[in-house]
Amino acid sequence: MERLVWGTQVELITAIFIGLEILMFLFQLASYFYWPGDKNRGWYLLLLFLMLLYNITGGLFPDAQIPIAVSVQEMIAYGTGFLMASYFPFYFYKAFELKALRWHALFGVPLFLALPYLVFFVVVYAINGKLDVDIRIGMIVPFCYAVVLLWAMFRAIRHKYRESRNRKEYAEEIAMHCAVTPWAALAFFGLVEANQTIEVLCTNTGIVIISILFITKSVKNARNEYNKKQTEPTIDGMSRDEFMANCLHYGLTRMEILVVQQVYKGKSNKEIAAQLVVSEETVKKHIQNALRKTGAKNRTALLHKLQNR
């Protein structure tokens, strides 16, 4: 017998996936607020959110005990499924830079997935109230297009990894293929009334693999960023970030910072003037301003101040 939770039609396996995805969503949301410029994390957050909607509505609806018209519940349940299916190619196009999917993500999906849903599952269903008939007719185009799009996604993934081949990239390519494949189940389950457990397991498998890919990619990017900082040119033992932080702390202007950088290299005022294409008087003025702002009495003290805030 199926185990239900919350006194609803939501099965235990669905509730487990919903709980896990809520935790993942909250964690990634907090990370996104910490790194608001991380677009890939933003695309991934939206994917998680849509999968949550799909799982929640697919588990809850339709239920006569819920004070919402059953027809509306059906529209919402199928709508979240179509929305998830429509966003999936766009996510791969953006997050994994699969340029070959651009037309499908921007034009094909709205025409062959979103439009049939609006026509048959909203307008026609609202008129005739015959969902079984609307499913048989309304899913013809989306199902056929899903097969075409699945092939296009496979080709786009293959094309991306064709040039450089090594063991790690083979593993990532295979993982991406495995992540894409369950997407086809969304179209299939639109045609048939499948067991909720089977449907949830199939459709959420892709999210699990995508999450592993996303985390792996994030760790790789963080490691590359760290290595980049480790190999950055330094100024007298300091990284450029530390040097800039000290300069900004004392309110140095851009030109004053450029002059001080040359002072760190041991250059004379004449050499600095030639390097920056300014007069020696201008160089002296910037050095005096830097001395005044830092409270240093001479160049040696200035360098010491900016090195040991």
Q: Structure tokens of 165?
A: 């081949």
Task: Quickly count: other Cβ atoms within 10 Å of residue 129's Cβ.
Answer: 12
Please state the pTM of the whole predicted model.
Answer: 0.71
Q: Structure tokens of 52?
A: 């949550």
CATH of 234-307, one of 1.10.10.10, 3.20.20.140, 3.30.420.40, 3.90.79.10: 1.10.10.10
Residue 217: per-residue pLDDT? 82
CA distance 98 to 247: 42
User: Closest Cα partner for 259 from 231, 232, 241, 278?
Assistant: 278
Residue 226: per-residue pLDDT? 64
CA distance 57 to 69: 14
**Burial category of 206 from C-beta neighbours within 10 Å (exposed 0-12, middle 13-18, buried 19 and up):** buried
Asked if 214 contacts 44 with a C-beta cutoff of 8 angstroms, the reply is yes
3-state DSSP: the chain helix, strand, coil percent, rounded to 5? Answer: 80, 0, 20
CA distance 73 to 211: 29
Residue 299: per-residue pLDDT? 84
Residue 113: per-residue pLDDT? 93
Asked if 86 contacts 109 with a C-beta cutoff of 8 angstroms, the reply is yes
Q: Where are the domains of the chain?
A: 12-230, 234-307
* Ordered per-residue pLDDT tens for the chain, 309 residues: 455 776 788 888 889 999 999 999 999 999 888 776 678 889 999 999 999 999 999 889 988 888 999 999 999 999 999 999 999 999 999 988 888 999 999 999 999 999 999 999 999 999 999 988 888 899 999 989 999 999 999 998 888 877 656 666 777 888 888 888 888 777 777 777 667 788 888 888 888 899 998 888 888 877 776 665 555 445 555 566 777 888 888 889 888 888 988 888 888 888 888 888 888 899 999 999 999 988 888 888 888 888 765
Residue 65: per-residue pLDDT? 87
